[in-house]
Amino acid sequence: MERVNAAQRPSASKFRRLAITHALMMGGDAAMVVALADSLFFDIDLDAARSRVLLFLVVGFAPFLVVAPLIGPLIDRVAGGRRFVIQVVALSRVVLTLLMAQYLDALALFPLVFASLVLQKTYAVSKSAIVPSTVRSETELVEANSKLGLIAGITGAIAVIPAGILLKVVGAPATLVYGAVLFAGALVAATRLSPDVVAADAADDAETTELHSSNVQLGAIAMTVLRGLVGFTFFHLAFWLRSQDQGTLWFAAVVGVSAIAAMFGNAVASLLRERVREETMLTTALLVCAGAGLGVSVLGGPLGAVVLAGVLNLMAALGRLNFESIVQRDAPDANQGRAFAVFETRFQLAWAVGAFIAVALQVSGSIGFLLVGSVAVAASIHLFSRGRAAGGGRSAVSRRRPGRARGQAPRSRSGSARPSDR
């Protein structure tokens, strides 16, 4: 009996191994951002930059968004499939970062940066699919994602210190080499991830029905809007702040405050979930974004831009963890790894669309802030009206107790699963 119980308990090192991999990946991303601050990527003429960014957003993200839904289910059925994807991403990031160091002042830098951006999103999807197999129960899943968010913020903040020193003392190429070393560390760490099967079987009727329930779908809409607003604001500010005095420093403030806000959101999300209903938190997140966007559009200025970026990233972090809680609660028969990978792909699409719109519109700072507020207001009204039309989902939610997700347990190469997670 003791042997069975031991077999049922997943190794505590599963999450630790993923956390180490995640920390190194985020550290490499932070180093790349620091290096690019002193490169051609931010020095090129605005009109030329817009055309290139638009081109690479389309060329870079189109294959990812088309291929991911098609090959994702196949990867999920292979033992270690998502682990292999993370390894490929880490290796590719090493190569691309070293190439950036070589072509830092050439136009070839643009495709290299956007290829890295696409790989970053690919990693996010695979990481979301793996997390459920690293926890002992569904109650630990949201906490695990919260910890990964905190790890991303902390390691990113730590990684920028040597990156900044290398940038000032040696130069941007040395900073990129430092980033490549971090990605190489992530590659080594990824080889130690557990070779689990994310989803051995195709989704059945129960899973499909639950994932299309009103609460899950409304939550997905809220998160899609939040992620789209984050993508829009990031690229809108990247171009608009270029026209302001000390534009590079202001944009650095945007990046820094956004990271701190996301980290804070991950830290307090679990506490808020104990006091506030998940649907209420998502609606509140949209309303706060609406107020911030409309308010900053009146106040204007780079300082308002920094505030808006912080608010959006804070609300997106809170919203993501509350959405994950809704999926766990209202879709107990769904495979959590597969479900989160599908939703994360959708959210990355929203980010890319928001970024494309920001680059294509070429509007002033205040107009961009007004658009953010208006979209958030429209989304809030839409969710409220759909919630009322569906009865708000209140009675069903209040009666339903959290269930155990079936089929999310990782499988070994022999196809066995942990009984405790079935």
Cα–Cα distances in angstroms (integers) from residue 318 to residues 122, 308, 333, 348, 378, in the given order:
22, 15, 24, 17, 20
Domains of the chain: 13-198 (1.20.1250), 206-402 (1.20.1250.20)
DSSP string, 107-147: TTHHHHHHHHHHHHHHHHHHHHHHGGGGSSSGGGHHHHHHH
pTM of the model: 0.81
- Coil vs helix vs strand at 376: helix
Size of the chain, expressed as the number of residues it contains: 422
CA 101/CA 109 separation, integer angstroms = 9
For Cα atoms 260, 91, 87, give the angle at the middle one, nearest 5 degrees. Answer: 80
> How buried is 43 (Cβ within 10 angstroms: 0-12 exposed, 13-18 middle, 19+ buried)?
exposed
> pLDDT-based confidence at 422, cuts 50/70/90?
very low
Percent of the chain with pLDDT over 90: 33
Per-residue pLDDT tens digits for 53-82: 787 777 777 777 766 777 777 787 888 888
Per-residue pLDDT tens digits for 110-125: 889 888 988 998 898 8
Residues 6+ apart with CB under 8 A from 259: 153, 156, 157, 313
Per-residue pLDDT tens digits for 340-383: 888 988 898 899 899 999 988 888 889 999 999 999 999 999 98
Amino acid letter at 27? Answer: G
CA 374/CA 380 separation, integer angstroms = 10
Per-residue pLDDT tens digits for 135-144: 877 667 778 8
393 compared with 305, residue with greater pLDDT = 305
